[in-house]
Amino acid sequence: MYQGGYTGKVLRINLTDQTAKEEELPLEIAQDYIGGAGFGVKYLYDEVPASTDALGPDNKLIFASGPFSGTTVPCASRMAVTGKSPLTGAVGMALTGGHFPVELKFAGYDALIIEGKAKKPTYVSIKKGNVKFRSAKKVWGMKTLDTQQFIKNELKDQNVRIACIGPGGENLSKIACIINETRAAGRKGLGAVMGSKNLKAIAVRGSGKLPIADKEKLKTAKGAFTKAMKASEVLYPHFSKTGTPMVVEATDAMGILPIRNFMDTGTSSLAEKIGVDVQMTRNVAREHCYNCPVGCSQLKVAKTEPYTGILTEGPEFETFYSFGSVTGVDNIDAIIAADRLADELGLDSISSGVAIAFAMELYEKGILTKDDTGGLDLRFGNDEAMMTLLRLMAYREGIGDLLTDGTKEAANKIGKGAEKYAMHVKGLELPAYDVRGAKGHGLNYATSYTGADHNRGYCFQEIFGDPIPFEVDRFAVERKGELTKWNQDIRTATADCPTMCVFLLDMAVPAIAAQNTADLMEAVTGLQYTADEVQQVGERINNLAKAFNVQAGFTRDDDTLPERLMTEPLKGGASKGQLISPADLKLMLDEYYEARGWDVNTGIPTKEKLQELGLEYVAKDLA
């Protein structure tokens, strides 16, 4: 019996026969996986064979928030969306914030499972336990923000919360995302999975409240949590005012802000053009997720032609990279406009920008010509060409049809040595850190179960110099396997599952993260954990996801990095001369597999490790 935090219900929607049914959430799943990404990976592994066509009707989408969402725990309006990724073929899991995650809980559900395929464009409305399947004929083809407004008007409810896709998802772009309000479940192409199911949107309206197991214990646990937040030298003094874009200066100073498709990292600085001082001239307001006192999202408005007056929530640091430094664009207003356009089209901004940078390098090297680009001048820094490419990618027109399935697939089709310039791991484009100068961060890219994903095991020790669990040298390779395992497991268990804003782990509570999560879980839900047991939840989920990928055909050879990062030293800046050589990577991988208790030669979880984590049935599958 659930005491608090959970509704205890899962809503399963079958689009093929237009049915919806409520199921009980088994208590043992809540205990072993907590919520969010844990529920997503668990249901995906159990219900979707790893060989499933990611864009076929048998793939599923699992929307799951955690037990802290919808309670008075601050910064907890987060949700994981999980399915098999059409971009990578591996586990696809993306996180998003805003208000939709809490609304789903208030509507009565810990998780929503979407399966099957609608015969015609459809959207689903969920209100007070009543599920309706509605025609999406009028909104099919609309951009995401217009879609949301239209559905609100049609439902006669301006407070309904909506997750939807844009033209990118409709056209099955493998880098399409899911947008709720202006927040994105951005990576791994999950918007294409929605599009493949003819599902345009999910509209949710709730009215319920969540019980709390022990209000006095919650008061004490929240006190320790908020005390750590207030004591942070970064969170309120800086992060709440500037958000993630403040990292532009930090990575620029470290010589790891990628420039022009990772060719010129460290050789030039863009901080004067797109750094915090310039960003602040475009800020007009701040946005808060539900019950978040920090309010890190900044509303920015462009001030110069041809982008004057364009407003966006963001761009985040990753977008200043993807539509800025990696493409060589130093026009802040163009970056603002591209961020808004990507959201409206429903394209992941990271993969979109990296794909554009890839095309720009190929163009400058003569591998692509104007005949290939439809006359577009794709030299680095051409912001007008960047905007045009975003539209072409969303609508699968011209060269956009080639790029919209990601750099790995595009390089394979282009040939001529293009693979050398495709910056991805397992098909997922690299985020905004040149890991030649942050090698633990690079090991996370190589080993993350979703591909090159900074959010799976962000190495804040290297980026921010925080000595928890131990002090590190960002250029060293020793102990990075141990560190990466810790980062991945702690991040999963204390942020991705309960569900909490991960920025708090990086900036405020790393020293108390596991114990704080245990205390909050007992107070909110009544379920009891030690700090070690919390961390083991993260380990269990990472092992289960790895097992899915093994069955999908991934091997140790896929735990690697782009050739450029292993063979070309950085040319300048504070990390000049650094790279991650094949020998460096082998050493780190061996150490990582050993720390995980996996077979060092294959990188596959051992029977003993899976049994230790209560995953005996998975051990049988792998055998």
pLDDT in tens, 112-122: 999 999 999 99
Domain final position from 423, 449, 471: 423
349-364 vs 407-414: helix crossing angle, rounded to 10: 30
Do 498 and 393 fall into the same domain? Answer: no
Do 251 and 189 fall into the same domain? Answer: no
Do 28 and 156 fall into the same domain? Answer: yes
pLDDT in tens, 339-371: 999 999 999 999 999 999 999 999 999 999 999
Residue 224 lies in a domain: no
pLDDT for residue 556 is more than 80: yes
Range of the domain at 346: 243-423
Give the position of tokens 């890839």. Answer: 358
Do 70 and 179 fall into the same domain? Answer: yes
With CA atoms as reference, report the closest residue to 45 among 594, 612, 605, 527: 605
Query: pLDDT band at residue 50, thresholds of 50, 70 and 90?
Result: very high
Q: Residue 117's pLDDT is what?
A: 98
Is the separation of the CB atoms in 457 and 433 below 8 Å?
Answer: no
Do 386 and 502 fall into the same domain? Answer: no
Do 439 and 469 fall into the same domain? Answer: yes
Do 403 and 474 fall into the same domain? Answer: no
Do 453 and 602 fall into the same domain? Answer: yes
For all residues of the chain together, what is the average pLDDT? 95
Residue 228 lies in a domain: no
Q: Residue 295's pLDDT is what?
A: 73
Query: pLDDT band at residue 96, thresholds of 50, 70 and 90?
Result: very high
pLDDT for residue 509 is more than 80: no
Distance in angstroms (rounded) separating the CA atoms of residues 129 and 120: 24
Residue 235 lies in a domain: no
DSSP per residue, 339-391 = HHHHHHHTB-HHHHHHHHHHHHHHHHTTSS-HHHHTT----TT-HHHHHHHHH
Residue 158 lies in a domain: yes
Domain final position from 154, 183, 205: 205
Do 321 and 418 fall into the same domain? Answer: yes
Do 339 and 447 fall into the same domain? Answer: no
Distance in angstroms (rounded) separating the CA atoms of residues 175 and 197: 16
Domain final position from 205, 227, 256: 205
Do 545 and 418 fall into the same domain? Answer: no
pLDDT for residue 323 is more than 90: yes
With CA atoms as reference, report the closest residue to 496 among 68, 98, 35: 35
Domain count, the chain: 3
Any idea what the CATH number is for the domain that residue 134 is in? 3.60.9.10
Any idea what the CATH number is for the domain that residue 538 is in? 1.10.599.10
Distance in angstroms (rounded) separating the CA atoms of residues 571 and 444: 23
Distance in angstroms (rounded) separating the CA atoms of residues 48 and 177: 20
531-551 vs 513-525: helix crossing angle, rounded to 10: 100
Is the separation of the CB atoms in 256 and 580 below 8 Å?
Answer: no
pLDDT for residue 481 is more than 80: yes
User: 61 has which bridge partners?
Assistant: 114
Residue 511 lies in a domain: yes
The CA–CA distances, whole Å, from 207 to 11, 23, 204, 499 equal 16, 19, 10, 20
Q: Which residues contact 240 (CB under 8 A, 6 or more apart)?
A: 286, 294, 295, 296
Q: Residue 296's pLDDT is what?
A: 79
Do 511 and 540 fall into the same domain? Answer: yes
* CA torsion through residues 215, 218, 222, 224, sign: positive
More confident residue, 455 or 145: 145
Residue 25 lies in a domain: yes
Residue 566 lies in a domain: no
State how far Cα 209 lies from the chain centre.
Answer: 28
